[in-house]
Amino acid sequence: MKASMLAVAALAGGLAAFAHVGEAKAAGELTLCWAAWDPANALVELSKDFEKQTGTTMKFEFVPWPNFADRMLNELNSGGKLCDLLIGDSQWLGGSAENGYYVKLNEFFDKEGIKMSDFAPATVYAYSTWPKGTENYWALPAMGDANAWVYRKDWFARPEIQAEFKAKTGRDLAPPKTWDELKEVAEFFQGREIDGKKVYGAAIFTERASEGITMGATSALYSYGFKYENTPGKYDMQGAVNSPDAVKGLEMYKALYKCCTPPGYTDSYMGEGLDAFKSGQVAMMMNWFAFWPGMYKDENVGGEHIGFFVNPSEKVAASTLGGQGISVVANTDNMDGALAYIKWFAQPDVQKKWWQLGGYSCHLAVLNDPSFKDSQPFAADFLTAMGQVQDFWQEPSYASLLQAMQKRMHDYVVADQGTAQEALDKLIDDWTEVFQDDGKL
């Protein structure tokens, strides 16, 4: 099957029954679609203020992450009327803009005095613009996020563990700042007995079906110097995607998987990592900032038990971008209401409450507040990460591009097929075919 056909299949696959909602929306009703996770619950609470102020009835359609892309992209592709507002992944921007699924918001922003300069530049670039870096806005930055790490601060603080680590490595046990240090710490905890229980070094992303292993592997790849192109917008991937530094990064990710993950950890993403950490299996866990408020409140491993650190660097300070923008779906029957919600959500006071409730605001009025860094134990790390984020392709054919990377990463890291160099060389071949089918090469 050609890459372009794969993209169509990914967009249209298997969910026709979900695609069409026959009844037009009532004038005072809006449905907001997003993934089912902690920040979505915070948004429900926040949106009660919008309901009180406008008399609008807010409805929500939250889809579990493993099914989120298929459900929502199929809804858009099929012309369905379920969603008036959609908080969609950054990778969807190119296709949604070019296919007319999202409303271009420039004129509305100008009319209402909504300024993109009021939001963190990295989030505007990633969540709002297509083509990338232009002043063509298809979303308002809604949920800043990046891949980061949480660790068992209480384990790290034990004098006997500290002494043993210092004797073994010659340095103090602390949150790792490089990937070499990360692996060293993970190896130290792997198979160790703590409180009568065998524990493991780290929970990382290995999931094959959606995006998991790509989001995990790029956390290492970016830090070692991996780039998608030598020249932005030129699709000249040779020597960037498969550079010697990129090879080292992928080799490190595999080494961490092989040495230091729990048994059977072959197809794991957000939920499995949270389960491993909350059950006391691992010393460290890779996951998204979005989960940190809930983790900090956890009765068993939160509070004084827990600490956070930004993604380690090696040659480059880098974090894999998560997060989303909020868009108005072009097919809505309540355009005025949807735009009113965007206007309301963009207000600084609303953004401040969004952060307080557990969402991650991208508004500079929140992020630049002198009290922000101390407002949560992970707030300073969030600021650091959002200043160094890198994102996957946002091309209209992103589904095919992602499918290819998922396969190549999983085949090498988990299935133990070939070398890192071969995996990245083959990935360039895969991506070249996609861009050739798109007429871009």
* Contact in structure between 241 and 432 (CB atoms under 8 Å): no
* Contact in structure between 70 and 79 (CB atoms under 8 Å): no
Please state the domain extents for the chain: 29-145+322-390, 147-320+396-438
Q: Per the CATH hierarchy, to which homologous superfamily does domain 147-320+396-438 belong?
A: Periplasmic binding protein-like II (3.40.190.10)
Q: How far apart are CA 329 and CA 301, in angstroms?
A: 40
- For the chain, report the end-to-end CA distance as a whole number of angstroms: 19
Digit-by-digit pLDDT tens for the chain (441 residues) are 333 333 333 333 333 333 333 344 555 999 999 999 999 999 999 999 999 999 999 999 999 998 999 999 999 999 999 999 999 999 999 999 999 999 999 999 999 999 999 999 999 999 999 999 899 999 999 999 999 999 999 999 999 999 999 999 999 999 999 999 999 999 999 999 999 999 999 999 999 999 999 999 999 999 999 999 999 999 999 999 999 999 999 999 999 999 999 999 999 999 999 999 999 999 999 999 999 999 999 999 999 999 999 999 999 999 999 999 999 999 999 999 999 999 999 999 999 999 999 999 999 999 999 999 999 999 999 999 999 999 999 999 999 999 999 999 999 999 999 999 999 999 999 999 999 999 999
Fold adopted by 29-145+322-390? D-Maltodextrin-Binding Protein; domain 2 (3.40.190)
* Contact in structure between 295 and 306 (CB atoms under 8 Å): yes
DSSP run (H or E) holding 308: strand 306-310
Q: Are strands 29-35 and 85-89 parallel, antiparallel or unpaired?
A: parallel
The predicted pLDDT at position 13 comes to: 36
How is residue 26 annotated by DSSP?
P
Q: How far apart are CA 420 and CA 402, in angstroms?
A: 18
Residue 133 DSSP SS3? coil
Crossing angle (nearest 10°) for helices 348-357 and 38-54: 140
| Single pTM value for the model | 0.92
Fold: same for 29-145+322-390 and 147-320+396-438:
yes
Strands of 147-152's sheet in order across: 200-203, 282-288, 147-152, 306-310
307's CB contacts (< 8 A; 6+ apart) are 150, 151, 152, 153, 156, 175, 377
Q: Can you say how many angstroms the Cα of residue 204 is from the centroid of all Cα atoms in its chain?
A: 14
Structure tokens, 213: 């292993």
* Contact in structure between 102 and 329 (CB atoms under 8 Å): yes
